[in-house]
Amino acid sequence: MRLDVVTIFPEYLAPLNVSLVGKAAARGQLDVRIHDLRSWTHDRHNTVDDTPYGGGPGMVMKPEPWGEALDEIIASGDGDAPVIVVPTPSGRPFTQELAVELSAKPWLVFTPARYEGIDRRVIEEYADRCDLREVSVGDYVLAGGEAPVLVMVEAIARLLPGVLGNAASHQDDSFAPGPMANLLEGPVYTKPPEWRGRGIPEVLLSGHHGKIARWRRDEAFRRTTANRPELIEGADPAAYDKKDREI
């Protein structure tokens, strides 16, 4: 998968060289290219923003550098347009489902903005030419889209074939499709069997796979009910068994 990021803070994306994403890039599973938006400006001050039409606080990112940057990046491909992901608090929510969908695309271009966002005409222009998604990582406003890019790239990269050590590990993620869909993951334990007087649930030592699976599902239910009751509301009751309803 090829990933391009256009930003006025290239150094903010340095974590993409680290850990899971960095290793995937080093192995050639990801081709990550970070671009400085200011290299597509032509004035002495490398201006990327200006005051908003209609007045109001803050600044808006000018269309010209974004247009030149995106044209050049798109032209560098093999002819197929990338999916353009525009992080914005006004976008559709970034979900595990969207991460799965984007992980199947060969080429993503992220356009993290600063200030009040990018001139709308840029979004319209590239929505006409590419598959463009405006995406929010949560109901809060950050200072820019770089942190959301780090979040999205990590969620997407770990789904790529061969990136996670254990291929099964993302199958039982919270939010993953399957028998635990809509349930948060329950608690986990490792050695030692006793720590500061605290033991671990007996069933995990039983070696009884059926009972362990049953316990995990019960714990997932308990945690989801406590932390995210709306997920239970949205779940399909046909997927529950009798014991679930007794919790």
Q: What amino acid positions are annotated as catalytic residues?
A: 89, 116, 158, 173
Q: Which is nearer to ligand ADE, 143 or 238 (CB)?
A: 143
Q: Which is nearer to ligand ADE, 148 or 186 (CB)?
A: 148
CB of residue 221 vs ligand ADE: minimum separation in angstroms?
29
The residues of the shown chain that bind ligand ADE, judged by CB under 6 A, are 87-89, 136-138, 140-142, 145, 148
CB of residue 184 vs ligand ADE: minimum separation in angstroms?
21
The CA distance from 84 to 110, in Å, is 6
The span from the first CA to the last CA of the chain, in angstroms, equals 43
CB of residue 85 vs ligand ADE: minimum separation in angstroms?
10
Could you count the other beta carbons within 10 Å of the beta carbon of residue 26?
10
Please check if 140 is assigned to a binding site.
yes
Contact criterion met (CB below 8 Å) for 153 and 16? yes
The CA distance from 124 to 141, in Å, is 23
Please check if 138 is assigned to a binding site.
yes
What tokens appear for 161 in the block? 């074939």
Please check if 5 is assigned to a binding site.
no
Q: What 3-state class would DSSP assign to 94?
A: coil
Please check if 139 is assigned to a binding site.
yes
Please check if 12 is assigned to a binding site.
no
Q: Which is nearer to ligand ADE, 63 or 89 (CB)?
A: 89
CB of residue 76 vs ligand ADE: minimum separation in angstroms?
25
Residue with the CB atom nearest ligand ADE in the bound state:
87
Which residues neighbour 171 within 8 Å (Cβ) at sequence distance 6 or greater?
A: 178
The CA distance from 184 to 188, in Å, is 12
Q: Which is nearer to ligand ADE, 43 or 139 (CB)?
A: 139
Helices (H), 136-247: 146-157, 209-227, 229-233, 242-246
Q: Which is nearer to ligand ADE, 133 or 217 (CB)?
A: 133
CB of residue 117 vs ligand ADE: minimum separation in angstroms?
8
Q: At what angle do helices 19-26 and 146-157 cross, to 10 degrees?
A: 60
Q: How many residues does the chain have?
A: 247
Contact criterion met (CB below 8 Å) for 34 and 5? yes
The CA distance from 112 to 147, in Å, is 9
